[in-house]
């Protein structure tokens, strides 16, 4: 058995999201069986005390060590999970607030000085930002709190789209909850190579296909609207994505003027009808490129682009790649 020489410290605090804490160790635990030297990681869950920590799911986790004890060791990766508080009832507007407790922020800031690499999972990015570790850097987080992160920390260049982002100085930020697995696989790939990460992904029955540039958004879930009218419009668009969809068509469906329709989209979704439709079509086309052998002509037709040239232009505009390159990369 080889020596495990990469210490990963996962920060624990009351109310932390369970999957943020347990998902990465599942990935890291498979590394030794996939490396010839049988080496990998040592994972330590650290908290203020050794008392059990209650997660947001109500499951209690027992820390391995305290912040004071682990702070005396050389840390390879400091992994910071997140947590949110939700206000509002089922009939009103829900407000999501990331949990940023000053004591946790201070501990993360101190431990980061002893870590070769720092990474956040989901809304854990808010803790890194509060500790000053994201200043001047590009970062991502769960889409629902991205605007809050940008507002609270103007020095951070918030990009809510990618699955994860790696910045200079070995600072990584990951997107919403299950993306912790993608982030963890990326860390494995950096430490032990793509081949090992691929074998680990296969053990987890996952695709090693989201190298940070792929979007965390599903267009139907990208924004939460507050009116039934916009929800009906969105469903109408998705159900008729292969057909001709113009502003007059949508305005007639919603029984409003063209100008009012544009105003509704801008207010509710922060975009234009044309941009929303194109984003939905690109997402559907991406799914077809990943999961089918359909020709580009067939995909362009099914998704409402009409021609392959229009499909290609939309992919270049939204994903900075071509459909063929996308298929080769994510298939």
Q: Where are the beta strands (DSSP E) in 168-285?
A: 171-174
How many CB atoms within 10 Å of residue 146?
A: 20
Burial class (CB in 10 A: 0-12, 13-18, 19+), 312: middle
How far apart CA 97 and CA 84 sit, in angstroms, is 5
The counts of H helices and E strands in the chain are 15, 13
How far apart CA 306 and CA 243 sit, in angstroms, is 9
Kindly provide the b/e burial profile for residues 267-294, where b requires at least 16 CB atoms within 10 angstroms of the residue's own CB.
ebbeeebeebbbbbbbbbbbebbeeeee
Q: List the catalytic residue out of 45, 122, 134, 165.
A: 122
140: left (phi over 0), alpha (psi -120 to 50) or beta: beta
Helices 308-319 and 323-330 cross at an angle (nearest 10°) of 60
How far apart CA 134 and CA 139 sit, in angstroms, is 7
Residues 6+ apart with CB under 8 A from 227: 264, 268
180 belongs to the catalytic site: no
Residues with a known catalytic role: 122
């Amino acid at each position: 058995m080889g020596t495990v020489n990469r210490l990963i410290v996962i920060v624990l605090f009351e109310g932390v999201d369970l999957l943020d804490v347990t998902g990465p160790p599942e990935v890291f635990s498979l590394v030794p069986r996939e490396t010839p030297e049988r080496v990998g990681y040592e994972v330590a869950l650290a908290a203020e005390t050794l008392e059990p920590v209650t997660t947001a799911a109500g499951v209690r986790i027992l820390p391995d060590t305290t912040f004071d004890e682990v702070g005396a060791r050389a840390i390879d990766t400091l992994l910071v999970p997140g947590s949110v508080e939700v206000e509002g009832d089922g009939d009103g507007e829900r407000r999501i607030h990331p949990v940023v407790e000053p004591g946790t922020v201070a501990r993360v800031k101190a431990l980061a000085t002893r870590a070769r690499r720092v990474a956040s999972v989901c809304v854990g990015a808010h803790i890194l930002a509060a500790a000053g570790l994201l200043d001047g850097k590009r970062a991502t987080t769960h889409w629902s709190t991205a605007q809050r992160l940008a507002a609270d920390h103007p020095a951070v260049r918030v990009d809510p789209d990618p699955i994860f982002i790696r910045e200079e100085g070995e600072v990584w930020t990951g997107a919403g909850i299950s993306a912790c697995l993608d982030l963890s696989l990326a860390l494995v790939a950096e430490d032990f190579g793509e081949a090992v990460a691929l074998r680990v992904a296969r053990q987890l029955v996952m695709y090693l296909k989201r190298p940070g540039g792929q979007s965390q958004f599903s267009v139907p879930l990208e924004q939460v609207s507050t009116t039934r009218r916009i929800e009906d419009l969105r469903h109408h668009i998705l159900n008729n994505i292969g057909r001709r969809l113009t502003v007059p068509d949508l305005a007639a469906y919603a029984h409003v003027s063209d100008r009012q329709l544009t105003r509704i989209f801008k207010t509710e979704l922060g975009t234009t009808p044309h941009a929303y439709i194109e984003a939905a079509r690109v997402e559907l086309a991406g799914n077809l490129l990943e999961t089918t052998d359909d020709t580009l002509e067939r995909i362009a037709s099914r998704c409402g682009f009409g021609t392959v040239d229009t499909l290609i232009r939309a992919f270049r505009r939204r994903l900075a790649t071509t459909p063929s390159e996308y298929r080769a990369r994510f298939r």
